[in-house]
């Protein structure tokens, strides 16, 4: 699922803007194991520039918080009205924006499909995006929706006899509630930290559940039923991540 880089930039960039952390720590956290991130089309900047430049640009524009968007067709939550930025964000499935400036990442994978790989990221800047739309989904609501979706998916997969084609799911689905250590900045609400950990853990389980059974044992009808059972959980995971990242 996309959105992690935009979510990290929104959360850590907000922490920079309100003085909780330094400039270099934001860049290091968002970049992670990628090649150095670059920004293109940043107003007033010559060609491609380092990712850190956009933090200064947002601060100069008076931004006090960044907001991630993880849009999908039918759910443009967090995007401004129609325009080039919204179109690019919808195509990428992620974006981050604040006062008058939005960014959409373009991620390129380098390396063989079977071997190790590294990613390069070019953030495309879009000026004049306006203020982010308020998001009515709270961390508490997203947490409730995620728990409900997980319970319903587990019941649906049990009815589909998921254990016959992916026996590892029997143990993995209940363990989706376990908390990890998501990369949110200091000062984030503890409930948002827990929610992001749960969402990330569940996303990993969903990747397993969505994969074809070894040997192609799953029939076309069962595959369709499985996709229907898991779709609401993917939606809940996406919205939980969004609520957690934007709670910073």
Using one digit for the tens of pLDDT, what is the confidence trace for 159-190?
Answer: 766 555 455 555 555 555 554 555 899 999 99
Residue 117 lies in a domain: yes
- pTM here? 0.85
Statement to judge: residues 97 and 8 lie in one domain: yes
Q: Are residues 12 and 121 in the same domain?
A: yes
pLDDT value at residue 150: 79
* 47 & 110 share domain: yes
User: What is the structure's pLDDT at 113?
Assistant: 64
Determine the pLDDT at residue 74: 87
124 phi/psi in degrees, rounded to 5: -90, 125
- Are 80 and 147 within one domain? no
80/22 same-domain check: yes
Contacts of 161 (CB under 8 A, 6+ apart): none
Same domain, 97 and 149: no
162: Cβ contacts below 8 Å, ≥ 6 apart? 169, 170, 209, 226
pLDDT of residue 75: 86
Note whether 166 and 213 are within 8 A (CB).
yes
- Measure the CA–CA gap between 186 and 93, rounded to whole angstroms: 27
Rounded distance between C-alpha atoms, residue 95 and residue 2, angstroms: 10
Q: How many CA atoms lie within 13 A of 31 on its CB side?
A: 16
Q: What is the pLDDT of residue 179?
A: 46
Whether residue 188 is found in the same domain as residue 154 = yes
CB atoms within 10 A of CB 72: 13
Query: Are residues 115 and 23 part of one domain?
Result: yes
Q: Is residue 29 domain-shared with residue 109, that is, in the same domain?
A: yes
The verdict on residue 82 lying in a domain is: yes
Predicted pLDDT at 243: 93
**Are both 150 and 236 inside the same structural domain?**
yes
> Which domain covers residue 44, as residue numbers?
4-127
Strand partners for 49: 39
Listed residues 99, 127, 155: the one ending a domain: 127
Q: pLDDT under 50 in the chain at which residues?
A: 1, 165, 179, 214-216
Q: Say if 133 falls within a structural domain.
A: no
Report the candidate in 156, 155, 146, 152 with the shortest Cα–Cα distance to residue 177.
146
At which of 127, 161, 185 does a domain end? Answer: 127
What are the tokens at 102?
A: 């939005």
In a domain? residue 132: no
Considering its fold, how many domains does the chain have in total? 2
Q: Which of 127, 150, 180 is the last residue of a domain?
A: 127
Same domain for 222 and 171? yes
Provide the terminal-to-terminal Cα distance of the chain, rounded to the nearest Å.
21
Q: What is the pLDDT of residue 189?
A: 93
Is-contact 62 146, C-beta < 8 A? no
- Using CA atoms, how far residue 212 sits from 161, 163, 191, in Å, is 15, 13, 34
Instruction: Note the pLDDT of residue 129.
Output: 80
Tell me: do 16 and 118 sit in the same domain. Answer: yes
């Amino acid at each position: 699922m996309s959105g992690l880089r935009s979510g990290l930039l929104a959360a850590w960039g907000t922490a920079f803007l309100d003085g909780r952390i330094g400039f270099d720590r934001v860049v290091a956290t968002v970049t992670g194991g990628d090649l150095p991130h670059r920004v293109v089309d940043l107003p007033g900047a010559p060609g491609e520039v380092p990712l850190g430049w956009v933090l200064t640009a947002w601060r100069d524009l008076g931004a006090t918080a960044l907001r991630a968007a993880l849009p999908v067709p039918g759910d443009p939550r967090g995007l401004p009205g129609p325009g080039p930025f919204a179109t690019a964000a919808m195509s990428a499935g992620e974006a981050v924006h604040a006062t008058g400036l939005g960014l959409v990442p373009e991620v390129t994978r380098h390396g063989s499909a079977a071997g190790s790989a590294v990613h390069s990221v070019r953030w495309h800047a879009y000026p004049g995006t306006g203020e982010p739309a308020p998001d009515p989904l709270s961390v508490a609501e997203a947490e409730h929706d995620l728990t409900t979706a997980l319970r319903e998916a587990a019941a649906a997969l049990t009815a589909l006899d998921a254990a016959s084609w992916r026996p590892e799911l029997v143990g993995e689905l209940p363990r989706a509630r376990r908390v990890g250590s998501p990369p949110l900045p200091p000062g984030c609400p503890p409930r948002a930290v827990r929610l992001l950990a749960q969402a990330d853990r569940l996303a990993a389980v969903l990747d397993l559940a969505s994969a074809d059974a070894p040997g192609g044992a799953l029939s076309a009808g069962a595959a369709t039923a499985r996709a229907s059972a898991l779709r609401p959980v993917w939606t809940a995971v996406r919205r939980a991540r969004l609520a957690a990242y934007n709670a910073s």
